[in-house]
Amino acid sequence: MSEASPLNRRTFLSGASIAATALALGPGGRASAADTPRSASAASSSDAAQGVDLHWLDGRPAATTGTAWGVPWPQGKVAADTRFALQDDDNDQVPVQSWPLAYWPDGTLKWTGHAVSSTALADGCHLAPGTPAAPKQPVTAKRSGDEIRLANGVVDIRIARGGPVAIRSIARGGRATAHDGRLILMLQDGPEDTANPRHTAWSGVVEEAEIEQSGPVRAVVRLTGRYRKDSSSRHGSGSRAILPWTLRVYLGAGDESLRVMHQFVWDGKASSDFIRGLGLQLSVPMSDQPYNRHIRFAGPDKGVWSEAVLGLTGLRRDPGEAVRSAQIAGTETPPVSEWASTVQAGWKDLPQWGDFSLVQHSATQCAVWKRTSRKAAWLKHAGFADRAPGFGYVGGVSGGLGFGLRDFWQQFPRAFDIRDAAKDTATVTLWSWSPHAEPMDLRAYDEASHGLDLAYEDDRYGFGMSTGMARSTDMQLWALDSTPSRDDVATLATTLARPQLVADPKTYHGVDVFGRWSLPDRSTPARKQLEDSIAGSVEFYTEQVKQRQWYGFWDYGDIMHTYDSDRHTWRYDVGGFAWDNAELGSDAALWYQFLRTGDPQTFHLARAMTRHVTETDTIHTGPFAGLGSRHDVQHFADGGKEPRVSEAYTKRFMYYLTADEFVGDAMRVPLKLDSTLLKYPPLRDYLDAPAGVPTVIRLGPDWYALVSNWLTEWERTGDNKWRDRIVTGMRDIAKLPAGLFTGQQGGAVGYDPATGHISDLKLGGDWGKVNLSMVFCGEQIMWETTDLIDVPEFRAKLVEFCRYVQAPASEITDHFGFKFSTGAPGVFYSRMTAWAGEQTKEPAVQQRGWDTFRNDGGGKAWPDPVHVDGSAVFSKVDELPQADFGTNGVAQNILATIALLAVAPDQAP
């Protein structure tokens, strides 16, 4: 509560002085290059405009299926219509396809996306403005009647523009490899323990089709539709339409494989729609003799499971070494006339194995099954392993279909089913959700809410519902002209690990993207400790993912929130202490650490987390469309649906670094909030909108999250309506009596989604109860936005907020004319304090940021994990000795350290 009226002369004059300081700063509000530690970055930015060196994140792969990536460019250096050329380490030109991802305010390129085909395999390469080399076998995408045709000189693909068959055919050299590719769904009307549940079959019906890219290096076709129930005579003919889906098909120049990426949004009835199976099914012609037909599955550690439909090894009579060797190798056997006479006479009496399955039951156990037909029993001991990489093959010596599922074991339950391989046409199903597992259950874990005080759970009005979640499956299909060798199977399986091209940290740092962050600094013992603490955090979570088995269809990519040292486990069953859902910026912390180090381990953690957050934790449709689900026992279980979870800012890292179209789609989901917030305002339980005010939001984290969505859409499209919406809010906030210190109910203000206007609710009350207002990357959102949009009066309010959010009471009183307490957590707001000192050229305030950080326990040395085994635990584990260890603190420590080293490097210990 303020102890004096905020509307006094001292406040006005002090605010004016802050504004003058802001106006004195250089372009975009920065200090001059001579005064700021970022001058080194500015110098390297001009070099970046000359081109960018790229390398493989995990080292040069043995093979790829093509890859895409993003590159940043300095402001004002690269025109929007610039073309790009790629040259490998041997100075050979590599065909590359390029497109814009984002623009600077002046219209120059900020981020570009690029793609190469599977032929690009040099150790490194250099991308620069220039004329791209033409591929020898360019890919084309053309509409032809009711279908889209993709061709690249190796394979031809026909994609339907409507109907229940999405991929009509895949052919190579005039021979059909596969046809009738159909998205399939199996539902049952009750959970596993329901007596006699009713099963129904559904097909994904294509409703729209568009060509997103038409070559020459990569073609992309986007299909959308919904699932409809099958009838006895027609697929997908039912009247009910559920689970809206998107399917993208990618084909590269000269490639023998196509990528198929599928994502569905859950809009079923959790009480009666239980997914029994979800997958892509294709038909594969089988023309070779049964002994020349082969089934192959990749196993862990380059292992291969390989058998023929009709086996000629292990028989009582030997057909001959040449026959056995050929079948094991997958090559054509000698003619039957050259076999041993006893085998010539009797081989047709041998069993023909028509059905095969590779089933990934969990993250640590998979099995191969086989049987002769549906009328016979399974042999479920054909093969066992822990983690299958997700590659298979069905066909013969004259060719067949290779197929792969990325994150096969990580997103269990997965499976491959091959049926009727002994007949003229085999059927292959790539199961995103395996029908060999229990059906998917998306009901809440309890019928009651458990409260914030004890369980830290916000289950308002039963809002903890699963409606609107999404999940994707990344598949690859190969049109192969022969049975792949065992070594080739192992190599093809490695391509499912997504080989990725990236630039080095100095390149990313040199072009001023993603706000304010630092490169690693180990120049003093204290700074080395800070860096070791960040690296230790990443290493600890990497090992916890493995040890605690944080895998599964919906769970993979997330980590847990808080630890329970009494039970020696994370609080997986205690309300809001369970899954993290990127609370307090754990995703951003990982991405910033990758940007500054280039560490592959950090990249993989971050990418999996962003995929998870944009799908499982983001609400794509339904009543809460555009919001995200707060952390809980189940990812969707918490009633707190928040803009901060779905905000585009923390998703930009993955989108711009990988040019991933599905993340690009997800960043537009929160643009739906303009309508959602009218019905479900963040403070709906605490504060009703006064008459004439459309809805109520908080400045932080709500408005900051909205700004990040508008900023992202503005830079992606160049449409100034999004910029203008930000400017409107900035100008309105600058007029608020308390500015960014508006503290009623955590910063409550009126908001009009139709115009973007912010209004003062005139509630009175406390100034400055900031709590978590800026800690969901709010400061980075504001720093980056104010550098791009020049609204001096708002920048003055931002500098003022950061300058006094952790200031001593005497300074607050001297500045405002009264005192108030912000309650700003030390580590959380230390970087805001230091930034303000940089902006106002007050080294003492920059030092205060560091002092506040360290006095609150920031940057402590990472303790050695403690090993726990024996009767205290179910299985041996490693844990940290602190009883209250949690991801919130880790994320904020990392974010604060990285930012402090950027905005107050001279004051670093």
Contact between 652 and 712 under an 8 Å Cβ cutoff? The reply is yes
Lowest mean pLDDT among 44-48, 340-344, 391-395, 406-410: 44-48
> What tokens does 179 get?
């046809």
Label each residue of 482-531 as H, E or C. CCCCHHHHHHHHHHHHCCCEECCHHHHHCCCCCCCCCCCCCCCHHHHHHH
Rounded to 5 degrees, φ, ψ at 427 are -115, 130
DSSP lists the bridge partners of residue 357 as 369, 417
Q: Is the pLDDT of residue 42 over 90?
A: no
Q: Check residue 24 and give its pLDDT.
A: 43
Label each residue of 292-360 as H, E or C. HEEEEEECHHHCEEEEECCCCCCCCCCCCHHHHHHHHHCCCCCCHHHCCHHHHHHHHHCCCCCEEEEEE
Q: Per-residue pLDDT averaged across 52-80, rounded?
A: 97
Q: Check residue 279 and give its pLDDT.
A: 98
Which residue in 78, 396, 106, 65 sits closest to 253, CA to CA?
65
Residues 605-614: tens digit of each pLDDT = 999 999 999 9
Q: Identify the band that residue 641 occupies on the pLDDT scale cut at 50, 70 and 90.
A: very high
| 3-state secondary structure (DSSP) of residue 460 | helix
Query: Taking each helix axis from N to C terminus, what angle separates 586-597 and 600-615, rounded to the nearest 10 degrees?
Result: 150
Q: Check residue 39 and give its pLDDT.
A: 37
The alpha carbon of residue 522 and the mean position of all alpha carbons in its chain are separated, in whole angstroms, by 31
Q: What residues contact residue 144 under an 8 Å CB cut-off, 6+ apart?
A: none
Q: Identify the band that residue 48 occupies on the pLDDT scale cut at 50, 70 and 90.
A: low
DSSP lists the bridge partners of residue 158 as 149, 169
Q: What residues contact residue 419 under an 8 Å CB cut-off, 6+ apart?
A: 354, 355, 374, 426, 427, 428, 429
DSSP lists the bridge partners of residue 418 as 356, 428
Contact between 624 and 270 under an 8 Å Cβ cutoff? The reply is no
Mean pLDDT of the chain: 93
Q: Identify the band that residue 45 occupies on the pLDDT scale cut at 50, 70 and 90.
A: low
Q: Check residue 747 and give its pLDDT.
A: 84
Q: Report which residue type is found at 555.
A: D
The CA distance from 54 to 128, in Å, is 11
Burial class (CB in 10 A: 0-12, 13-18, 19+), 671: middle
Q: Check residue 286 and give its pLDDT.
A: 98
C-alpha distance from residue 305 to each of 331, 392, 394, 397, 497 (Å) = 16, 9, 12, 17, 19
Q: Give kind and range of the element (H or E) at residue 188.
A: strand 175-188
DSSP lists the bridge partners of residue 375 as none
The CA distance from 556 to 542, in Å, is 13
Residues 481-512: tens digit of each pLDDT = 999 999 999 999 999 999 999 999 999 999 99
Q: Is the pLDDT of residue 599 over 50?
A: yes
Q: Check residue 8 and give its pLDDT.
A: 34
> What tokens does 394 get?
């069905």
Lowest mean pLDDT among 34-43, 99-108, 325-334, 662-671: 34-43
Q: Per-residue pLDDT averaged across 739-766, rounded?
A: 86
Residues written for the chain? 909
Q: Per-residue pLDDT averaged across 745-757, rounded?
A: 90
In the chain, the percentage of residues whose pLDDT exceeds 70 is 94
Q: Is the pLDDT of residue 101 over 60?
A: yes
Q: Per-residue pLDDT averaged across 286-300, rounded?
A: 98
| 3-state secondary structure (DSSP) of residue 75 | coil
Lowest mean pLDDT among 16-20, 252-256, 619-623, 725-729: 16-20
The CA distance from 233 to 255, in Å, is 37
